[in-house]
Amino acid sequence: MWKAVTGLNKPNQTRNFYPSDDKWEMKSFPFKESTAMEEGSAIGIEISSNTTTGNVTLMGVENVTGADFVGILAEPIVSTDADYATAGKLKSVWVRKTPIAEAYFTVGAGTFTAADVFKTVEIHSDSKSLAVDTAWKGARITSYISSTRGTCNFALPTTETA
């Protein structure tokens, strides 16, 4: 059973990543212990000393170690949660049904213009946005909405080199 990201008949107020089409499905994944995460954060496989742990964590942290994108966190994880310090706790994540599934994003760093559409960029270290002035393989920008907002897909593995 999963919790809805946004209540019925209420606008989505998420300012981070969130699905922009119907090519996503909700799944549960085991998460790293004692790590607060905002709804809409990009999630990747946790890697410790070049070995996966079986848990997922914030993508901005794991981008450095070469982890691939898993999905978008569909519920917040806060320090007051009863299972906050538990490794392997299950939380809801939006997972792509297809590599071309698109998500809304916010700009976390850089200057974003319509000329950036189809550019591949890094997931920002905050895991909640894109660093639009980078050349990386975290996400591909697919549309321009405003100087702070656009859509992207995560079709490229981060382990590819630019």
Task: Identify the DSSP state of 118.
Answer: T
Q: Is 86 within a domain?
A: yes
Measured CA to CA, the distance from residue 14 to residue 146 in angstroms comes to: 16
Measured CA to CA, the distance from residue 122 to residue 161 in angstroms comes to: 11
Instruction: Give the global pTM.
Output: 0.84
Domain count, the chain: 2
Q: What is the pLDDT of residue 65?
A: 55
Residue 87 amino acid letter: A
Q: How many H helices and E strands in the chain?
A: 1, 11
Residue 90 shares a structural domain with residue 116: no
Residue 106 shares a structural domain with residue 92: no
Q: Is 4 within a domain?
A: no
Q: What is the pLDDT of residue 3?
A: 46
Local structure of 130: helix, strand or coil:
strand
**Phi-psi group of 97: left, alpha or beta (phi > 0 → left; psi -120 to 50 → alpha; rest → beta):** alpha
Q: What is the pLDDT of residue 50?
A: 75
Residue 62 shares a structural domain with residue 76: yes
| DSSP per position, 53-105 | EEEEEEHHHHGGGTPPEEEEE-S-B-TTSTTTT-TTEEEEEEEESSTT-EEEE
Residue 25 shares a structural domain with residue 92: yes
Q: What is the pLDDT of residue 161?
A: 46
pLDDT digit of tens for each residue in the chain (162 aa)? 344 455 555 555 557 999 999 999 999 999 988 989 999 999 988 877 777 777 888 887 655 556 678 999 999 999 999 999 998 899 999 999 998 999 999 999 999 999 999 999 988 889 999 999 988 778 899 999 999 999 999 887 555 544
Measured CA to CA, the distance from residue 141 to residue 109 in angstroms comes to: 14
Contact 33, 123 (CB under 8 A): no
Residue 135, H or E segment: none
Tell me which residue range forms the domain holding 126. Answer: 102-153
Q: Is 5 within a domain?
A: no
Local structure of 160: helix, strand or coil:
coil
Local structure of 150: helix, strand or coil:
strand
Tokens of 114: 């319509």
Residue 31, H or E segment: strand 24-31
Residue 127 shares a structural domain with residue 84: no
